Each structure stands twice: as C-alpha cells, then as structure tokens.
Amino acid sequence: MKDKYGQVDVLFNNAGVDNAAGRIHEYPVDVFDKIIGVDLRGTFLMTKFMLPLMMDAGGSIINTASFSGLAADLNRSGYNAAKGGVINFTRSTAIEYGRENIRANAISPGTIETPLVDKLTGTADDASGKAFRDNQKWVTPLGRLGTPEEVGKLVAFLASDDSSFITGESITIDGGVMAYTWPGEMLGDDSWKHSTK
C-alpha cells in the first residue's frame, strides 16, 4: 500500500454520527451499532490502515472525540460509549506507536455550530434551534457555541511540530462546560443574557 500512496504525515479522524434514542433498556440496538460503527470502528479502521504509512517517518493522528466521551448525556448512551472509546483508543495508539515518532491525540469539542447540530436540534433560524442555542449559551461559561474555525485551529496545532511533545491527550474545546461539576448559582443567574450575543 505504501508503494501506491506513499508517506502519510497527518491523519485526522473526524467522521461521526449522533442520535438521542432513549434510555438504555429502550435504546435500539441498530442505532447503537451504527454510532459505534461510524464513530469508534471507523476511527479504528482508518488508524489501522494508515499507521503503516506513518511508521517510517512518524506523524500525527488526531481523533475527534467529544465532551460527551468525558461525561454522560441523557438518552445518548451509544454516542457516549463511542466517544469515550475514541479517547481511550487514542491513548492506546499513543503508547503503542510513540517509539515510531507517531503522536496520537483526541480533541473533545463541546457544542459547535455545525450541520450535525442543525440536524439534531434545529437551525439558528427556527424555534427549537434558537431554544437549544439559548440553553447552550446559559450552560457554557463563555456564553456561546464554538465555531468550526476554532476547532480547526486546535487540529492544525496538533498536526504541527509545535505540538511535538504532546501525545495521548484528550484536549477539551468546549467554552468551559467541563470546568464545573454542576451549574450551582448559575441556575438562578441570568446575567449572561446581557453579556452574550
């Protein structure tokens, strides 16, 4: 395969699907299998088949996990399991291939303005999408959703030599959501409404 494709320096595993599908005893097996298949098995397969193209000269692997792989969401056990698996799979890759100068890191985004968010919640122009975004602004210390460009800059950093001693990490990019254990006084504080767009 290397004769055909040559050296690979960077692999960014960024495919993913999500679905809120009920409590675990009601969760459809086919939905669970699809999410695990795309989010976790897909990451495994791409990594497995690209590693031989990186082993001579080293490289950087970046896997998209989620803050949902670090803590649980109601009715999304498939996604939680898949993204938690991506994080630990990333660690496995880091320790197994570090001596070949291959680094592996995961990024764990929070809620980012993407077509997937539009599909799951509604767009910023309809009522359900606006309500979702208002809730995210409230629960996020920075008071807004993230942008694809912000995530892209993190990926570019991890792909570059500027991150040459970083491996086996899951870097959260979520506007501060994972920094607290529960919203506490935020529950009754609506001052954020006056300080966010």
DSSP reduced 3-state for 22: coil
C-alpha 14/C-alpha 108 separation (Å) is 11
User: What is the Cβ-side half-sphere exposure of residue 168, based on CA atoms within 13 angstroms?
Assistant: 9
Report pTM.
Answer: 0.89
141 shares its domain with 153? no
For residue 175, the tally of other CB atoms under 10 A from its CB is: 23
Residues in Cβ contact with 158 at an 8 Å cutoff, skipping those fewer than 6 apart? 60, 62, 103, 105, 107, 166, 171
156 shares its domain with 106? yes
User: What is the Cβ-side half-sphere exposure of residue 123, based on CA atoms within 13 angstroms?
Assistant: 3
30 shares its domain with 125? no
69 shares its domain with 133? no
| Residue at 140 is within a domain | yes
| Residue at 181 is within a domain | no
| Residue at 18 is within a domain | yes
Annotated catalytic, 79? Answer: yes
Residues in the chain: 197
133 shares its domain with 89? no
| Residue at 190 is within a domain | no
| Residue at 184 is within a domain | no
18 shares its domain with 80? yes
Residue 102 DSSP symbol: E
pLDDT by position in tens, the chain (length 197): 777 778 999 999 998 888 888 999 999 999 999 999 999 999 999 999 999 999 999 999 999 999 999 999 999 999 999 999 999 999 999 999 999 999 999 999 999 998 878 887 888 888 888 888 888 888 899 989 999 999 999 999 999 999 999 999 999 999 999 998 876 676 666 666 666 55
> Domain with 76 in it: what CATH number?
3.40.50.720
Residue 49 is inside which H or E element, if any? Answer: helix 42-50
| Residue at 122 is within a domain | yes
Angle, CA 67 vertex, CA 132 and CA 158 arms, to 5°: 120
| Residue at 8 is within a domain | yes
Angle, CA 40 vertex, CA 113 and CA 155 arms, to 5°: 45
Query: Which residue of the set 5, 27, 79, 97 is catalytic?
Result: 79
Cβ burial, residue 95 (10 Å; 0-12/13-18/19+): exposed
C-alpha 53/C-alpha 59 separation (Å) is 9
152 shares its domain with 141? no
100 shares its domain with 119? no
60 shares its domain with 155? yes
User: Strand locations in the chain, DSSP E?
Assistant: 10-13, 59-64, 102-109, 170-173
| Residue at 129 is within a domain | yes
131 shares its domain with 152? no
Per-residue pLDDT, 135: 86
Q: Provide the residue range defining the domain that includes 162.
A: 2-110+147-176
27 shares its domain with 89? yes
Number of separate domains in the chain: 2
- Pick the last residue of a domain from 102, 127, 145: 145
61 shares its domain with 129? no
Per-residue pLDDT, 44: 98
